[in-house]
A = this chain, B = another copy of it.
Amino acid sequence: MTEIIEVTPTLDQYAFTFGGVAPLRKVAPGSVLRLWSDDAFCGALRSVTDLSSEKVNLHFVNPQTGPFYVEGAEPGDTLALHLVSLEPARDWGASATIPFFGGLTSTDRTVMLQEALPDTTWIYHLDSAARTVQFQARHSEHRIDLPLEPMLGTVGVAPAFNEVRSSLVPDRFGGNMDTPQMRAGTTCYLGVNVEGALFSIGDGHYRQGEGESCGTAVEGAMTTTLIVELIKGSAPGWPRLEDDDHIMTVGSSRPLEDAWRVSQVEMVTWLSELYGLHTMDAYQLLSQISETPLANVVDVNYSVVTKARKSLLPATAAFDGLHDDLRARAAELTGA
């Protein structure tokens, strides 16, 4: 029976950066980890009277569980993290409109002279039987049950060239991509920049719309089970994802069209690699099949996902079929 490495960090063990932090522990490729992560607010918003401007230190949000040192990982390698399951670790989640943070407000970058939107907190109660979270309006009696769709906002490795980035940042190293695609059943491929890769995860969302408009999802503590694998070499330029239905790339930059361009060119490259297509043919094919949901339009960099549906393409074996192998291992673990 597979050993599962369980990690529940103490408060002083959280990391708030990608890079710049000593590893929490070493793990071998093939390891299965069960990781507890706190919510983006470090659990500080527990009722609608808890305001982000009073309770949250914005420079210490997105606490990371990790980093983990992957034995044998070297720059140029590819780290594969397969998400086996994501289970809410609390029976409530929180969301908030943090002053000058979010997509439909001026921010510290898109800075205006207007007053901030009201600092408001919403608490979502989880019905674990129905697998829903409940939206409760703050200014009326509306209550709407929404399906529980757990995902991770942040999955990342240490950046290249000795940089250290806040856990609010998504970029080439992954990080705070905030895409609903980062859910159970997905494999995430990240290029390794430093010895040991030094990956971490966090920022669990019980559900999130594409774009994460107000800047926060239904933020919740999460128990994540994942399998760690290592591919020697083959580091992609930008994060790649795979699930049973799609291969996907994630671009993160500003303005938003550049995030899109990054994800598109990465997918053109991937399609060319997989099928031996000429770049112009891959560009043409992608033009007719691309699915491109926004991930976030609120973080330090914005993130866009480009998806190519496997059923539209000839049979593939990205990264030598690792995803299918990981799915099989995950099924054994979950008894599915």
A contact set with B: CB distance below 8 Å: 16-17, 19-20, 59-60, 95, 97, 103-106, 109-118, 120, 122, 135, 137-140, 142, 144, 146-147, 160-166, 207-218, 253-258, 260-262, 264-265, 268, 275-281, 283-294, 297, 302, 304, 312-314
Contacts and interface: CB of A to CB of B under 8 A. Distances in A.
A111 B288 CA distance: 20
A291 B210 contact: yes
B287 A212 contact: yes
B110 A261 contact: yes
Nearest to A133: B288
A263 to B, nearest CB: 10
A261 B95 contact: no
Nearest to A160: B59
A116 to B, nearest CB: 7
B135 A288 contact: yes
A137 to B, nearest CB: 4
Contacts of A140: 276-278, 281
A95 B287 contact: yes
Contacts of A113: 104-105, 117, 265, 268, 279-280, 283
A257 B258 contact: no
B261 A104 contact: yes
B142 A281 contact: yes
Contacts of A146: 288-289, 312
B112 A115 contact: no
A291 B262 CA distance: 21
A311 to B, nearest CB: 10
Contacts of A138: 278, 280-281, 284
A264 B214 CA distance: 10
